[in-house]
Amino acid sequence: MMVNRIPARRRLVLLACVCFALSASACAGSLTRRIVALRTAQGDAAVQNHDLAEARKEYALALALSPANAHARQGLAHVLFLNASADFINARLDQAQQEVASALKYAPNDPATQALNSQIEQARIRREIVIANYPLYASVGSSLTASLKSVDAAKRDVEKQLLSFDYDYDTAHLQKAIIESYDLQQDMHRIMLRLVAYRNLVQSGASKPRSAIESETPNLLPIP
């Protein structure tokens, strides 16, 4: 009798183990789905609050648990697209290209992402052509950027004088603000002329020999 009972007991134990494993697996799957849903919901909320860094983290955590989750993939692709757009607008082409390439991994058929990728690629080609053929263009652009920063500093000085006048009502502050504003206006006019010359040089430079470009560039670099 004992010989027949032992296999039966073993079968019961094995059956119990299988049932427990299936139950545990089902519970784990249900828990994973709930966590993924929570992460994607938090990612959506972060996008609504314009917190792209937080949204990117939440979608990535969701994908770590469920790599094929369509909601998380679409959300992460959208965040990467927004980041790439911001980088592109601010002329950070290398970062923009990296972001848009990542976005295309999650949404390869998205028309907006494909269009942005094409724009970035065209801009990179134009930049490389200009820099390769006319190395001084990069230094000219840097010089103009530095000039604009000095204008920003002058603008802050004018604002400081106005704030000082609001404090003590001394018209000497207004007089200084007027003088600085006049200098600021002159600086902006000079920068405008340099920008016009820079644009004309870039537009017409392709058909000019290098000697002609080099002869014009020194007149473009200094602030008049």
User: What are 2-29's pLDDT values in tens digits?
Assistant: 444 456 556 555 555 555 554 545 454 6
- Predicted confidence at residue 218, as pLDDT, reads 41
Residue whose C-alpha is closest to residue 39's, from 12, 69, 15, 14: 69
Whether 101 and 94 have beta carbons less than 8 Å apart is answered as: no
pLDDT of residue 215: 40
The reply to whether 185 and 197 lie within a common domain is yes
- pLDDT for 41 equals 93
Q: What is the pLDDT of residue 17?
A: 58
Claim to verify: residue 111 and residue 216 sit in the same structural domain: no
pLDDT of residue 210: 43
| Boundary of a domain, candidates 97, 112, 131 | 131
Number of domains in the chain: 2
Please enumerate in sequence order all residues whose Cβ is within 8 A of that of 40, keeping only pairs 6 or more positions apart, or say none.
58, 59, 62, 69, 71, 72, 75
**Core vs surface per residue 154-184: b (16+ CB within 10 A) or e:** beeebeebeebbeeeeeeebeebbeebeeeb
Q: How far is residue 40 from each of residues 29, 63, 178, measured CA to CA in Å?
A: 17, 9, 55
Let me know whether 159 and 65 are in one domain.
Answer: no
Of the three residues 131, 155, 184, the one that is the final residue of a domain is: 131
- The pTM assigned to this predicted structure is 0.54
Q: Which residues of the chain have pLDDT under 50?
A: 1-5, 22, 24, 26, 28, 206-224
pLDDT computed for residue 26 by the predictor? 47
Would you state the pLDDT for residue 73? 94
Query: Does residue 6 sit in the same domain as residue 117?
Result: yes
- Structural domain that includes position 34: 2-131
User: Which residue among 131, 154, 186 closes a domain?
Assistant: 131
> What pLDDT is recorded for position 223?
41
- The token pair at 218 is 């020194």
| Alpha carbons within 13 A on the beta-carbon side of 123 | 18
pLDDT at 216: 43
How many angstroms separate the CA atoms of 43 and 58, rounded?
5
Tell me how long the chain is.
Answer: 224
Clarify whether residues 99 and 209 are in a common domain.
no
Ramachandran region, residue 123 (left: φ > 0; alpha: ψ -120 to 50; beta: rest): alpha
Contact 147/187 with Cβ under 8 angstroms? Answer: yes
What distance separates the 2 farthest-apart alpha carbons in the chain? 114
